[in-house]
Structure 1
Amino acid sequence: MGFIHRRTSKQAGKVKNLLGLALSRLAVARRPRLARKSISRGDVGQLLALGHQDRALHRAEQVIEEEKMLEAFDMIELYCNRLIEHAAQLDKPNECDEDIREAASRIMFVAGWCGDLPELLFARTILANKFGSDFATAAKEGTSIVDPMLVWKLSGDKTNMELKKKVVKDIAAENNIMVDFSELPGVGVQDRSSNVPHRHEFNHETMY
């Protein structure tokens, strides 16, 4: 398609610069979330050791929130790198490879969810001009062109009981603590209000 070694336009170059800045900021944004995740997991372990399973389940929500965002950050990093590497394709959006269109749609979606990465909002504006209003609207709304796993990681319900129980059980196992949720009110009933989307395991190698 003639993209190899082609110079990028001014707009495509600006997208590259913005995404590069976002990657730098991403490295900084990870640190406090990693710290909060570690502290929250420690809190859950301490609460379980004291026999406060109900409070441990509640505290698990913070663990879930931080884990989901950190995993989303990993995905965002891949999308940014993909677009930076193949920015020349953005000058002919109708001829873009499918993986470039997917990366663009996902960057446009996450721009509205990641206040930690303001550069993505500016990149989204340029990408919207490149790909058109219909594409931009679908991307912003997180419809079928956006990976459902990414949508769930950014907007899914962190209070899902089954997910909280899994987190608590994992932390309990790490600390050799037995847990039994059967006597806690409302915990024995499976929560189907926010199911994790079914998809193949996310593979970093598929982006390259």
Structure 2
Amino acid sequence: MGFLHRKTSKQTGKLKTLLGLAISRIAAVRRPRLARKSIATDDVRQLLTLGHLDRAIHRAEQVIGEGNMLEAFEMIEMYYKRLIENAAKLDKPGECTEEIREAAAAVMLVAGWCGELPELPFARTILADKFGSDFAEAAKDGTGIVDPMNRELTKLDLAVGVEVFWQLNSMELKKKVTKEIAMENNIVVDFSELQDAVKDGED
């Protein structure tokens, strides 16, 4: 029993270190994404100023994509901090609260797609050992993961996968973002002009 306790405590200590490194890395990977979002936003503004509405809408895709990733990283960081704060409880995974289990599932899910945080596969291995193979399998598709910011059911993989793909190809969303940038810069946009151009091209 003493050996098992020492093993789990050692694993937990390593997990805290890995998650701490991941949090530090999130701050680093967030900066270039913020820069790319800012550049893309300014590109949209310039294109609107020049009257290139169709190109501005297309450029809005990157504004949306970078924004989604920034939101995902914010949510991920909150999960990691939750696990670090409750690390001692991980030595008895069967007694962990739902919030801790959600955070563990989030780490395991993100480890599958986020190459920017190389510590996570190692953290996933430790958590899988603690919570078991069934839990690890369920975490692969985001089952039971809850957004810690608004407590609504969500899937982190959708934030950067299927949902982002749909959003980037949603003309309605691209128009919405383009309009917001236009309003912030006192630029008037008329999307009916874009529709007329499409109709002319079809004739």
For this structure pair, what is the TM-score category when the shorter chain's length is used for normalisation? 0.7 to 0.9
Specify the alignment match of 2:149 in structure 1.
none
Q: TM-score, normalised by structure 2?
A: 0.83
| Percentage of identical aligned residues | 69
Structure 1 position 24, deviation (Å):
1.0
Q: Does 1:47 align with 2:53?
A: no
SS at match of 1:177: coil
Structure 1 position 19, deviation (Å):
0.1
Structure 1 position 140, deviation (Å):
1.3
Specify the alignment match of 2:133 in structure 1.
133
Structure 2: gaps (5+ residues) = 1-7, 147-152, 199-203
Once the two structures are superposed, the pairs formed by residues 1-208 of structure 1 within 5 Å of their partners are: 9-145=9-145, 147-148=153-154, 150-155=156-161, 156=163, 157=165, 158-185=168-195
Contact 1:82 / 1:100 at 8 angstroms: preserved in 2? yes
Rounded to whole Å, the distance in 2 between the matches of 1:179 and 1:87 is 52
Summarize deviations over 1:23-61 as a string: whole Å, max 9, x none: 111111111001100000000001111111111111111
**CA RMSD between the two structures:** 2.0
CA distance 1:54–1:136, shift in 2 (3 Å): same
Structure 1 position 128, deviation (Å):
1.1
Specify the alignment match of 1:193 in structure 2.
none
Q: TM-score, normalised by structure 1?
A: 0.81
Rounded to whole Å, the distance in 2 between the matches of 1:149 and 1:167 is 23
SS at match of 1:141: coil
The structure with more radius of gyration: 2
SS at match of 1:9: helix
Contact 2:57 / 2:178 at 8 angstroms: preserved in 1? yes
Count of equivalent residues: 181
Structure 1 position 133, deviation (Å):
1.4
Specify the alignment match of 1:199 in structure 2.
none
More helix by share: 2
Which amino acid is 1:175 matched to? N
Summarize deviations over 1:103-137 as a string: whole Å, max 9, x none: 11111111122111111111011111111112111
Summarize deviations over 1:160-186 as a string: whole Å, max 9, x none: 222211110110001111112224249
